[in-house]
A = this chain, B = another copy of it.
Amino acid sequence: FLLSSAALAQPIPSDVRRAAAELRDSALAGSAAWDVVESLVNEVGPRPAGSAGDVAAVAWAVAKLEALGFSNVRAEDVVVPHWDRGTLDVRMTGPYAQPIVAASLGGSTGTPSEGIEAEVVRVPSLAALRELSERELGGRIVFVDHVMERHRSGRGYGTGSRIRGCAHYFAAERGALATLIRSAGTSEHRFAHTGSMIRNGQAPTIPGIAIANADADMLAYAAGSESPVTIRIHSTARQLADHVSANVIGEVPGKGELADEIVLLGAHLDSWDLGVGAIDDGAGVAIVTAAAKLIIDSGVAPRRTIRVVLYANEEFGLSGAQQYYENYSADLDKHVLGMEADFGAGRVWQLASRVADDRLVTVLALQNLLEPIGIELGGNQSGGGADLTPLRRAGMPVLGLRQDGTDYFDYHHTADDTLDKIDRDDLDQNVAAFVTAAWVAANIDSDFGRLPIDTSEQSCAAEYD
């Protein structure tokens, strides 16, 4: 599959290419992204679905997009669940007395007011958990002790998040009282990583708790003792009444006959509550906002409309993504491409995609424009980002500007997700990648085709490993 550079250039007209390269280079010279994320995390801070921070974030986003010159700025209501972690106290009570650094997982039930104290059964995987019976697990606390792999692609998170989402399901089925997991994260510091324990709608009936790596090591050491390991848990986590949050949307309007077509740039406005949501997903909000802002500032309207969507509640059930899909169901075919920034602020190293096969030549030509900023070509199986899932499953093509995630899971869903983890230059490289791709997608003659409708279903029972 070799193409001459003339052929590579063909799918993107030279004027589009030239303008995209200029936007790319101006992003590298300094974009608005740092100011956006600095403002969001300092002035709003934690913003989990349903919280006061969530309300503040919506107001912040509307004001910010308006101040930056976006058009058609609006907040579209999204009903979101409201889970409150309350307080949590976890202690090893035998064979040694040790406080345990822990965090309730999103959706966890609380304990009875007197707490739970029980013997711990340690397993290395969901497969091992499924092999145990009610006789072995009944009345006990399951501890899934899986060490998540560190990798640039973030691939260790597949297994990690499956354990987070499914351990409670298998454990409760077998009569266990609670689940502990070694955090689905890679931090070498003493942080517990939260995250939703609701997967495929299977809501928990028992507490689910993540513990820090060092604490998991302590439990593993204790498991080598001849005495049983016992744990006491007290948690007031609970589900509250639903709230109304919002997807915040702003546009760079297209001009001409393609103006009703949409190039969607997504990120999510909500965050977990433990940190301030700098890398997850303040960085993404900043990247897509700053990319569109560069196009606004260029003074030249794109042919297609560039729509920035800052989604409500990605973290705890993709409420915003689902609501957007429902709101725009009559308009799905107008969404010619989606891109999401939701993997931190590491440099983009790969352009992956999921587009119609006969449009891969356009992706290749785009990669040619991104090559100077260190971006190689990836495969055509990109998921595109969690918030894009409903649109992608309905046929919308996506690009995946894959960020370096080597240290993403050191901070992800922890108290340590703070502004100092973001490098300004890396952030601007992201903006450069997004603005290049957005400009190209919004201005070429062709689109990226449509994808086959995806109706596959998943469940914990089907996908354990």
Contact = CB atoms under 8 A, between A and B. Distances in A.
Nearest to A52: B97
Q: Which of A53, A189, A276, A415 has the most CB of B within 10 A?
A: A189
Interface residues of A, number: 32
Number of copies: 2
Interface string A151-192: 000000000000000000000000000000000000011110
A404 to B, nearest CB: 19
Nearest to A220: B42
A419 B221 CA distance: 11
A42 B221 contact: yes
A275 B212 CA distance: 12
Contacts of A46: 98-99
Q: Which of A38, A275, A416 has the most CB of B within 10 A?
A: A416
A43 B101 CA distance: 16
A259 interface: no
16 contacts: A42-B222, A44-B96, A45-B97, A45-B98, A45-B218, A46-B99, A53-B97, A56-B97, A101-B415, A188-B420, A189-B416, A214-B416, A214-B418, A214-B420, A217-B419, A217-B420
Given A189-B416, A218-B276, 15 more contacts: A38-B221, A42-B96, A44-B96, A45-B96, A45-B97, A46-B98, A46-B99, A190-B414, A190-B415, A190-B416, A190-B418, A213-B420, A214-B420, A217-B418, A217-B420
Interface of A: 38, 42-46, 52-53, 56, 96-99, 101, 188-191, 213-214, 217-218, 221-222, 275-276, 414-416, 418-420
Closest 4 CB pairs of A and B: A214-B418, A45-B98, A42-B221, A190-B416
